[in-house]
């Protein structure tokens, strides 16, 4: 009877396509918006993830998230180095100076200052140049977004200059960065030099980057640093989630995306449910005939569920393919980089679609189950 169920479904071409469209649209909207949301949240941690050399971040205990920093004292680096279990500890500066091109074009940039001696924290994915080039005078490394902003539609060339807080800096490297939350350009300089690019405050040390000694876990070293210095220490992963939690709790972003996803869910369920119900109502005589002929309620329930699952599978496949295609097409765009359809989102959307088609079929199943087969004898 599975064959009969499938033929009944695809035989009514208009409703079949309507159901597929409803599920595909719903799938696309849910997976697309979820991916954008996850991507934006991921962006809030981009510079934490981009620092590969260290796995522990030490910061002021009241720090809520990456982009809002209260500076530590320079002595804090030495205090952290003195904690048992710390392999090494280096300073990291993070500031938002204004960069200006000589044509007058300017933009606020994310300036990261890495330890002068070790260059720990410097980017590793360079398109041109080398991290070691940071040792050159007035050197900065610039990400592709920054380069293309200041030198639009021009080939990547090293040695070009910009102005930072009345200082002339030279681009000695161009690198790929993860997209930051505000999509600002990212610059790297030596720590000592980076401090000169921002307005002076008494303290300018943003973070201390730490490597745990071999044999000790990051969390254990974090605990020791906290106990010994009174500072907050977190692993890169913990600090990333702390930052994401801040944005979830203190911005309207999740509410905004949540509403869109909820609407997609409701529209998908209502449109699919209504269309499926009408489809069933229009086939009620046929279902009655099948019941009269001797098809059991279980078999009819199975037929309807098969129809629902078929619609769900096809609609989901189309919708998720549209989402994947969207992010595949846009991945080359620098402003949209970093948005990836995670398998968790694809799986979660699949589960929601399963719920949609099951909910859509429930009313139809109920209607058919209570149907008296004798209805087929009433004209």
Q: Which residues bind other proteins (CB under 8 A)?
A: 1, 3-4, 7-12, 285-286, 288-296, 299, 372-374, 376-379
**Minimum distance of other proteins from residue 366's CB (angstroms):** 17
Q: Do residues 94 and 207 lie in contact, with contact meaning Cβ atoms separated by under 8 Å?
A: yes
**Minimum distance of other proteins from residue 290's CB (angstroms):** 7
**Minimum distance of other proteins from residue 307's CB (angstroms):** 12
Give 11 or 84: the residue with its C-beta nearer to other proteins. 11
**Minimum distance of other proteins from residue 352's CB (angstroms):** 29
Residues contacting residue 8 through CB under 8 Å, at least 6 positions apart:
283, 286, 303, 307
**Structure tokens belonging to residue 325:** 């295609």
Give 12 or 138: the residue with its C-beta nearer to other proteins. 12
**Minimum distance of other proteins from residue 257's CB (angstroms):** 41
**Minimum distance of other proteins from residue 274's CB (angstroms):** 21
For every residue of the chain, which 3-state class applies, written as one string?
CHHHHHHHHHHCHHHHHHHHHHHHHHHHHHHHHHHHHHHHHHHCCHHHHHCCCCCEEEECCCCCECCECCCECCHHHHHHHCCCCEEEEEEEEEECCEEECCCCCEEECEEEEECCCCCCCCCCCEEEECHHHHHCCCEEEEEHHHHHHHCCCCCCCCCCEEEECCEEEEEEEEECCCCCCCCCCEEEEEHHHHHHHCCCCCCCECEEEEEECCCCCHHHHHHHHHHHHCCEEEEHHHHHHHHHHHHHHHCCHHHHHHHHHHHHHHHHHHHHHHHHHHHHHHCHHHHHHHHHHCCCHHHHHHHHHHHHHHHHHHHHHHHHHHHHHHHHHHCCCHHHCCCCCCHHHHHHHHHHHHHHHHHHHHHHHHHHHCCCHHHHHCC
**Structure tokens belonging to residue 98:** 């204004």
Give 7 or 333: the residue with its C-beta nearer to other proteins. 7
**Minimum distance of other proteins from residue 23's CB (angstroms):** 20
**Minimum distance of other proteins from residue 15's CB (angstroms):** 11
Give 321 or 369: the residue with its C-beta nearer to other proteins. 369
Give 86 or 371: the residue with its C-beta nearer to other proteins. 371
Give 252 or 379: the residue with its C-beta nearer to other proteins. 379
Give 293 or 351: the residue with its C-beta nearer to other proteins. 293
Give 3 or 343: the residue with its C-beta nearer to other proteins. 3
């Amino acid at each position: 009877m599975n064959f009969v169920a499938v033929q009944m479904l695809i035989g009514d071409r208009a409703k079949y396509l309507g159901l597929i469209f409803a599920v595909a649209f719903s799938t696309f909207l849910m997976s697309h918006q979820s991916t954008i949301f996850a991507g934006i949240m991921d962006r809030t941690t981009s510079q934490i993830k981009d620092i590969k050399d260290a796995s522990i971040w030490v910061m002021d205990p009241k720090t809520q998230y990456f982009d809002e920093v209260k500076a530590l004292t320079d002595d804090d680096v030495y205090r952290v180095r003195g904690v048992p279990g710390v392999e090494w500890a280096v300073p990291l500066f993070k500031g938002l100076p204004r960069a200006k091109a000589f044509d007058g074009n300017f933009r606020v940039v994310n300036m990261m200052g890495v330890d002068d001696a070790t260059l720990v924290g410097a980017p590793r994915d360079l398109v041109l140049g080398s991290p070691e080039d940071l040792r050159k005078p007035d050197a900065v490394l610039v990400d592709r977004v920054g380069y293309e902003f200041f030198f639009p539609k021009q080939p990547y060339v090293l040695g070009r200059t910009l102005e930072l807080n009345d200082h002339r800096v030279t681009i000695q490297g161009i690198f790929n960065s993860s997209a930051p939350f505000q999509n600002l350009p990212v610059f790297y300089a030596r720590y000592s030099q980076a401090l000169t690019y921002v307005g002076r405050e008494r303290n300018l040390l943003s973070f201390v980057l730490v490597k745990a000694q071999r044999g000790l876990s990051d969390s254990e070293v974090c605990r020791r640093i906290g106990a010994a210095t009174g500072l907050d220490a977190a692993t890169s992963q913990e600090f990333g989630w702390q930052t994401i939690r801040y944005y979830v709790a203190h911005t309207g972003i999740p509410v905004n995306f949540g509403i869109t996803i909820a609407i997609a869910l409701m529209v998908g369920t209502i449109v699919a449910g209504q269309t499926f119900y009408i489809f069933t109502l229009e086939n009620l005589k046929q279902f009655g005939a099948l019941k009269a002929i001797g098809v059991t309620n279980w078999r009819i329930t199975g037929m309807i569920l098969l129809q629902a699952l078929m619609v769900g599978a096809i609609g989901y496949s189309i919708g998720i393919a549209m989402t994947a295609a969207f992010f595949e097409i846009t991945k080359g765009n620098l402003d949209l980089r970093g948005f990836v359809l995670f398998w968790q989102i694809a799986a979660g959307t699949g589960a929601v679609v399963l719920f949609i088609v099951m909910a859509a079929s429930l009313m139809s199943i109920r209607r058919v189950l209570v149907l008296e087969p004798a209805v087929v004898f009433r004209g």
